[in-house]
Amino acid sequence: MAAAPGSKSTQMAAMMKTSGRLYLNDINRARLQPLNTNLQRCGVINQIVLNLPGERIGMLMPDFFDRILLDAPCTALGSMHQNKEIDLWWSMDKLERLCALQYRLLISAFKALKTGGLLVYSTCSITEEENERNIEQLIRQYPVQVESIIEIDKNGFEQGKSNICTEAIRVYPHKQQMEGFFVVKLRKISKKKYIIDRKKTEFIQTLSYADKELFPELEEISRVWGIPFSVWKNYRYVLTNKRIWLLCPDISDIPKTGLISSGLLLAEHKSNSWKLLNQSVQFLARYITKTIEPDDNLLKTLFAKSVAYISGVDNGYYALCRSGKPFASVNALKGRLKIRLQQAYTLPELKADQS
C-alpha cells in the first residue's frame, strides 16, 4: 500500500516467481519512478503499479486481496541512531498526524482483504502509538486477529508491548544492532458491513497472443529477433500505439483507476519495426537467435560512447551477447552499432577499462 521505492516489492516478486498478481501502490508519483526502474531491471512480469491514496483502496477494491503488506509511513524513530536529522523535524504533532494516517491505512487494508486474508503491518518506528495502539484500536473495531509469525526466529527479538500483540515482533537498535522495527501479522476473520465507494473500479482487459490486433505485431517481433512464435502463448499483453507490455498469464485484467504500469515493457515501435528493450532481451535471452557478440575492444568503445563501428553485419536489430548470453539491444545501420544503456549499466569485466 506504500510500495516505493521498491526493495520489498522486488523481494516479493522474486518469492512469487513471476506468478500471481502483485499490486504495488504509492501515493507519491515521483517515488514510483525508481520503483518502476527496479521492477523493469529485475524482469518482473506479475506486477500492477498504482498511484492511489492508500486510504481509498479498501473502498475501490473491497474484499479483493489475499495478502496485503502495509509498511506504513512513520516517524522512523527506529533509525534515529543513523539519521540524526529526524530529531530536527520530530514532534508530538507529527506523531499524532502519522498515527491517524496509519490507522486510516489499516482500515483500508482490512476492507480490501478477502475474509481469511492476511495483513502484515510494519513500521520502522519503536513508539507504541504507531504500533501496538493502532493494532489494539483496529481489533476493537474490526474482526481481525493477531497471528504468529512462525517464519521468523524470534530469538533475540522482543515481543509486542501489549497482551494483544504478544505475537508481534519488535527490534531495538541498541539491542539487536540494527534498525528499529515493528511487525505484526493479522488475519481478517469475517466481513463487516461498510459503505462501498459509488465510483466502481474499471478494468482494462489484457490480450492473448492470438488476439487479432496483437498477433501480427508478435509475428513481426519473432521475425526481427529470431524468436519462436510459440513463446508468446505463455503470456498476456497490453498493446498501445507504440509499446507492448508482457505480463504473466495470471493477469487477465488490470484496474484502470490510478494505473501507472503493469508487467515488463517488452518492445517499442521504432523506425517501422519493434525494438526489444534491454530488460526484455535478458528476459527472453534463451529464445533469441538473432545475436551479435563483438570482441572486448568493440564492447569497450560501445559502452563508453554508445556507438561503435563493425563490418560484415546486416542492418537491423540484434541482441548483444557477452560469453554467449544476450543482455542488451543494439541497432546496426551501415556498419555502425548503436546502443542505449542506463547510466549505471556496466559489465564488471570492462568497468576498469572505461574510466
- 161 pLDDT band, cuts 50/70/90, is confident
Nearest to 71 by CA among 149, 125, 146, 152: 125
CA distance 313 to 316: 9
Whether 332 has a pLDDT exceeding 50, the answer reads yes
How deeply is 92 buried, as exposed, middle or buried, from its count of CB atoms within 10 A (0-12, 13-18, 19+)?
A: exposed
Q: Give me the pLDDT at residue 121, please.
A: 97
Q: Give me the pLDDT at residue 104, please.
A: 97
Q: What is the mean pLDDT of residues 329-345?
A: 81
- 77 pLDDT band, cuts 50/70/90, is confident
Provide the whole-model pTM: 0.89
Q: Give me the pLDDT at residue 197, please.
A: 56
Q: What is the mean pLDDT of residues 69-77?
A: 88
18 vs 210 pLDDT, higher one? 210
Query: Does the active-site annotation cover 248?
Result: no
CA distance 46 to 129: 35
Residue 251 · residue 266 · CB < 8 Å: no
* Cell numbers for 143: 474482526
Dihedral sign from CA coordinates of 166, 171, 174, 180: negative
Which is catalytic among the residues 42, 74, 99, 124? Answer: 124
CA distance 285 to 226: 11
Nearest to 171 by CA among 210, 122, 135, 206: 122
Percent of the chain with pLDDT over 90: 62
Hey, what CATH class is 290-355 in? mainly beta
**CA angle, 260 as apex, 264 and 288 as ends, to 5°?**
10
Tell me: domain 7-188, CATH 3.40.50.150, correct?
Answer: yes
Q: Report the DSSP pairing between strands 264-270 and 65-71.
A: unpaired
Torsion of CA 218, 271, 282, 279, to 10 degrees: -100
3-state secondary structure 5-47: CCHHHHHHHHHHCCCCCEEEECCCHHHHHHHHHHHHHCCCCCE
CA distance 302 to 248: 33
What is the residue-averaged pLDDT of the chain? 88
- The string of pLDDT tens digits covering residues 172-227 is 887 777 788 999 999 999 977 666 655 667 899 999 999 999 999 999 999 999 99
Residue 133 · residue 160 · CB < 8 Å: no
- The string of pLDDT tens digits covering residues 286-297 is 999 999 998 888
**What are the domain boundaries of the chain?**
7-188, 290-355
- The string of pLDDT tens digits covering residues 202-217 is 899 999 999 999 999 9
